[in-house]
Structure 1
Amino acid sequence: MFRKIVLTTAASAVSIVALAAPSFAGNIDEAPVEPVLAPVVPVVVSTDWTGGYAGVQLGYGEAESAGLDGDGAIGGVFVGYNHDFGNYVLGGEFDASASDISVGGTDVDSIYRLKLRAGYDAGPALIYAVAGGASVETSAGDDSGYVAGLGVDYKVTDRVTLGGEYLYHNFDSFAGTASEGEFNTFSARVSYNF
């Protein structure tokens, strides 16, 4: 009898283990797999700067000649053309500006500039340098010289561009004298792209 109880108990235990075994299968939770995130790399979208443009500019100028200086507002119009070579842009621009700068009693009436532009295409932004010739008309005479500077344009839309430009001007005989004239101008610009 004792043997029968032991066998029955053993059989019952095996049955319980056999029945419980499927409930244990797969119950061990595996660690969740974390998604692999690729690093975010900014993509610079190239914008085609090829084409003509025209616009207006308004800014501030400082002038110095023979130890005298003056400053005032400057503003005018410009027209130009760029050609985009991929990462680099080359172009030319002509601008005409009126001025209310006066240097030692000599009024600076207007400045004309013919500039070559070379820039880097940074997508919607164009960072550029300029160099060229400049002519100034004053109440005491006219003079010609050179101009160089830096600027940046930003395409707000395909047709509208906002920008800023710094220019340095040098004139050998400012206002008809033997004195050198130096001008610095800072302008905000808006243009329409054709």
Structure 2
Amino acid sequence: MKQKHRILTIALASGLAAAPALAEGPLTLEGGALSSASKMGTVADPVVEAPPMAPVPTMVDWTGGYAGVALGVGRASWDDGSSSDVLGNLFAGYMFDMGDYVIGADLNYAPASVFGDFSTASEELRAAWGLVGRAGVKLGAEGRTLASVGVGPSWVRTRDAGGDGNTAVGVTAGVGVDYMIDDNWMLRSGLSYSRFGSVGANDISVNSVAAHVGAAFRF
């Protein structure tokens, strides 16, 4: 009877000793011998790859010179009359890219004999030109659109009924939007207002407004 108790005790002890091993995982055959899954190592979770990040757009650089031509319509008015016509101008300038902002200056020249015919009661417009400082902000993910404001001195050359030429000094202010097509070409549009306090021999005051669109080559 004691012998049976000893055998039962040994069997229970062996079962308890094997229990942790069985709890660790199912038995597998390895090298002809049984081993638990814990001996082989746990199964790793599947690797989940993060979706590729979208490339960050590269901001364009507006630094550089340019020259082009613009066409539009304009209207000049004075105390006792006004004159309207199709007009155009040649322009050239240089811009400095400051990151999110751009500064620069434009030189504009409009020979009336080619791009329009404006005249008052006593003066005929012969040519106009101006030097306009500009400051703008980039728009869009790549900064290809530039919205700007500008102001600067302007001059107008007139000829009176007797054939004498006169030059008047004024000021021009405007707003515009440029768009960079690529490194070599850009489009331009804008509105401008000019004021001349004393034009011609009769010292008449002339105001003018103009709208234009154009294109320029960048270099």
TM-score when scaled to structure 2?
0.66
Which residue does the alignment assign to 1:13? none
1:137 to 145, 152, 157: 157
Q: Highest relative contact order (Cα 8 Å, sep 6+), 1 or 2?
A: 1
CA RMSD of aligned residues (A): 1.9
Task: Give the 3 Å change call, closer, same or farther, for CA 174–50 of structure 1 in structure 2.
Answer: same
Show the 5 A alignment for 1:123-162. Answer: 123-140=143-160, 141-162=166-187
Is the CA contact (8 Å cut-off) linking 1:74 and 1:98 kept in structure 2?
no
2:66 to 38, 41, 53: 53
Show the 5 A alignment for 1:62-73. Answer: 62-73=75-86
Q: Give the drift of 1:175.
A: 2.3
1:179 to 204, 213, 218: 204
Question: Within 2, Cα distance between the matches of 1:69 and 1:191?
Answer: 31
Unaligned runs of 5+ in 1: 1-42
Aligned positions, number? 154
Is the CA contact (8 Å cut-off) linking 1:61 and 1:101 kept in structure 2?
no
Which residue does the alignment assign to 1:79? 92
Which residue does the alignment assign to 2:189? 164
**What is the one-letter code of the residue matched to 2:121?**
G
Cα deviations by residue, 1:15-34 (Å, 9 ceiling, x for unpaired): xxxxxxxxxxxxxxxxxxxx
Bigger Cα displacement from structure 2, 85-94 vs 95-104:
95-104
Question: Within 1, Cα distance between the matches of 2:130 and 2:106?
Answer: 8
Task: Give the 3 Å change call, closer, same or farther, for CA 121–176 of structure 1 in structure 2.
Answer: farther
Identical residues among aligned pairs (%): 31
Cα deviations by residue, 1:63-100 (Å, 9 ceiling, x for unpaired): 01122100112212111000010111000111101231
